[in-house]
């Protein structure tokens, strides 16, 4: 294992104050040593995804790891069907709602610095925001009751050739003030507005763009070299090579809504997500104490095996093996990031087509130890 160390540096002024180059990370992606048991696991997982690719048209990248050791990884199909560019394990996909855990990490890192509090209300940073009584914690846990900005934008945004930004989203909520779905903290209601607002609050507090903050605070120090946040206002053409497809070879539109980030907009690879997964086990980019808060259920009205924390979905039915995960769908991309923190197992599926890309969390977990009598389950 390669040990990486850097000398501590004094944080410069301005945006560079958010650089964490001195993190003593030790993890580098590496393959597992083969044993008969692991060979059986690899064979099961390989057969499953080969059938998905061959029979259902699955197109994407797959990575299964245990304690950071890669058990199975493979790229299936094309990043671009027109040019026939093939996918690799380094290919960066739109994460869709798997972006939310990364937005949460950005917010919680500011909480650890004392620059935010989970109990701060939105008005502390946006005084004229018309919805009162909503805390940072409620945004992170989807208990704000706020309406979905996408539905509002589709009604009021005048020119869909012009990207909607996070600032624009805040402005139209202030201007049109659509009725909220629920009172604050009344119940769980999953809404993209929560995480788009959180990304905007990160900008207000840090003084730099959300994309730059995440690059300096998460991507760069964790060596996530294939990761970025798509800034649509910087270019009307998405520079990312992996295209999303809503049907066979029908490319998804690069919608004006892609100008809003935080709820979506992160591009990364299976290898980089494994780096993030392993960094969490090292107490980075947020401490174990803060992770415990993030991985604690926030909803008494939801089941223990289907709950939500601060940016993560939670299945805590087995207290010895918590399952911390998120899935996503957006404009041709489907994604799934699963962490079993008891077994140390990690499952990452990134797809850029809708064909053959819908996976159940338990279905993927079962692939590790699927009995012989169930091997034909997905034939």
In DSSP terms, 62 is beta-bridged to: 74, 349
Q: Which letter does DSSP use for residue 10 in this model? A: P
In DSSP terms, 246 is beta-bridged to: none
> Which entry of 73, 91, 97, 109 is annotated as an active-site residue?
97
DSSP letters spanning 33-77: PP-HHHHHHHHHHHHHHHHIIIII---EEEEEEETTEEEEEEEES
CA separation for the pair 297, 347 (Å, rounded): 21
Q: Which helix (H) or strand (E) holds 138?
A: helix 136-140
CA separation for the pair 212, 278 (Å, rounded): 22
Backbone region of residue 265 per phi and psi (left: phi > 0; alpha: psi in -120 to 50; beta: other values) = left
CA separation for the pair 203, 217 (Å, rounded): 13
- Contact criterion met (CB below 8 Å) for 364 and 338: yes
- Contact criterion met (CB below 8 Å) for 80 and 242: yes
CA separation for the pair 341, 331 (Å, rounded): 30
- CB proximity list for 83: less than 8 A, separation 6 or greater: none
CA separation for the pair 207, 258 (Å, rounded): 22
- Decide: helix, strand or coil at residue 285: coil
CA separation for the pair 325, 116 (Å, rounded): 25
- CB proximity list for 47: less than 8 A, separation 6 or greater: 375
Q: How far is CA 193 from CA 128, 130, 360, in A?
A: 17, 14, 25
- Whether residue 97 lies in the annotated active site: yes
Q: Where are the beta strands (DSSP E) in 250-344?
A: 250-251, 266-268, 307-308, 313-315, 323-330, 333-340
Could you give the residue numbers annotated as active site? 97
């Amino acid at each position: 294992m390669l040990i990486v160390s850097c000398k501590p540096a004094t944080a410069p002024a301005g945006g560079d104050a958010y650089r964490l180059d001195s993190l003593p990370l030790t993890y580098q992606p590496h393959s597992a040593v083969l044993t008969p048991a692991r060979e059986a696991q690899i064979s099961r997982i390989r057969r499953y995804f080969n059938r998905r690719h061959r029979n259902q048209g699955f197109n994407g990248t797959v990575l299964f790891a245990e304690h950071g050791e890669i058990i199975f990884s493979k790229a299936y199909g094309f990043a671009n069907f027109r040019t026939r560019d093939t996918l690799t394990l380094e290919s960066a996909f739109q994460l869709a709602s798997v972006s939310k855990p990364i937005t949460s990490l950005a917010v919680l890192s500011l909480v650890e610095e004392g620059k935010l509090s989970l109990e701060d209300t939105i008005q502390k940073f946006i005084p004229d925001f018309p919805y009162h009584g909503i805390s940072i914690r409620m945004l992170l846990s989807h208990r704000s009751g706020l309406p979905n900005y996408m539905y509002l934008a589709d009604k009021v945004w005048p020119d869909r050739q012009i990207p909607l930004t996070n600032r624009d989203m805040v402005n139209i909520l202030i201007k049109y003030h659509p009725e909220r779905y629920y009172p604050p903290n009344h119940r769980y209601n999953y809404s993209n507005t929560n995480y788009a607002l959180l990304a905007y609050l990160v900008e207000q507090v840090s003084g730099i763009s959300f994309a730059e903050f995440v690059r300096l605070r998460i991507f760069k120090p964790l060596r996530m070299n294939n990761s970025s946040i798509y800034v649509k206002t910087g270019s009307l053409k998405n520079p990312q090579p992996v295209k999303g497809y809503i049907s066979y070879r029908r490319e998804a539109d690069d919608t004006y809504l892609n100008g809003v980030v935080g709820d979506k907009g992160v591009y990364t690879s299976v290898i980089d997500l494994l780096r993030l997964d392993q960094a969490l086990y090292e107490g980075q980019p947020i401490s174990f104490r803060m992770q415990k808060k993030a991985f604690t259920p926030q909803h008494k009205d939801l089941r223990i095996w289907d709950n939500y924390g601060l940016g993560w979905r939670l299945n805590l039915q087995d207290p010895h093996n918590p399952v911390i995960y998120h899935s996503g769908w957006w404009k041709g991309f489907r994604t799934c990031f699963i962490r079993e923190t008891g077994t140390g197992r990690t499952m990452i599926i990134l797809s850029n087509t809708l064909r053959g890309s819908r996976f159940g969390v338990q279905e993927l977990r079962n692939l590790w130890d699927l009995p012989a009598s169930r091997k034909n389950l997905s034939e």
